[in-house]
């Protein structure tokens, strides 16, 4: 399983594989041509309520992950397109946040890692 993470405002590269926007909202000011996303999976993103509560606050990261993972467990169908894309090669999760360490794409990658390779 190869999942890369990339901010939406960075240029696409050959090694990105399938580019999947994993945000509920389209990144502000970004054209669809420049984004070059193959899939936009709003349902794989955190709920609006959870996203607003978190606000990329590192002190809320642990609780955000717990709540987000619970949301994902409640809607496994939202992950099916991601899992299908992973069967065909590398995938890049595209996200809009300026925060590189504490964002939903990081949490989603971590969630999939625990589901696909439980320890």
- How do the pLDDT tens digits run along the chain, 119 residues long? 789 999 999 999 999 999 999 999 999 999 999 999 999 999 999 999 999 999 999 999 999 999 999 999 999 999 999 999 999 999 999 999 999 999 999 999 999 988 877 65
Residue 95 confidence (pLDDT) = 96
Residues 6+ apart with CB under 8 A from 25: 96
Please count the helices (runs of H) and the strands (runs of E) in the chain. Answer: 5, 4
Under a CB-based contact definition with an 8 Å cutoff, are residues 81 and 41 in contact?
A: yes
For the entire predicted model, the pTM comes to 0.91
Q: What is the DSSP string of 60-101?
A: GHHHHHHHHHHHHHH-GGGGHHHHHHHTTS-EEEEE--S-SS
Strands 39-40 and 3-7: unpaired
The CA-atom distances, in angstroms, between 99 and each of 11, 37, 57, 105, 114 are 17, 20, 9, 11, 22
Residue 118 confidence (pLDDT) = 65
Residue 119 confidence (pLDDT) = 59
Residue 115 confidence (pLDDT) = 83
């Amino acid at each position: 399983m190869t999942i890369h993470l990339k901010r939406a405002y960075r240029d696409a590269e050959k090694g990105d594989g399938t580019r999947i926007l994993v945000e509920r909202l389209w990144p502000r000011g970004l054209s669809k041509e420049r984004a070059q996303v193959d899939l936009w999976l709003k349902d794989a993103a955190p709920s609006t309520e959870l996203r607003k509560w978190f606000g990329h606050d590192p002190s809320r990261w642990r609780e955000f992950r717990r709540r987000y993972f619970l949301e994902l467990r409640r809607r496994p169908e939202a992950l099916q397109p991601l899992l299908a894309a992973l069967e065909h090669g590398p995938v890049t999760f595209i996200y809009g946040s300026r925060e590189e360490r504490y964002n939903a794409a990081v949490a989603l990658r971590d969630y999939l890692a625990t589901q696909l390779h439980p320890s």
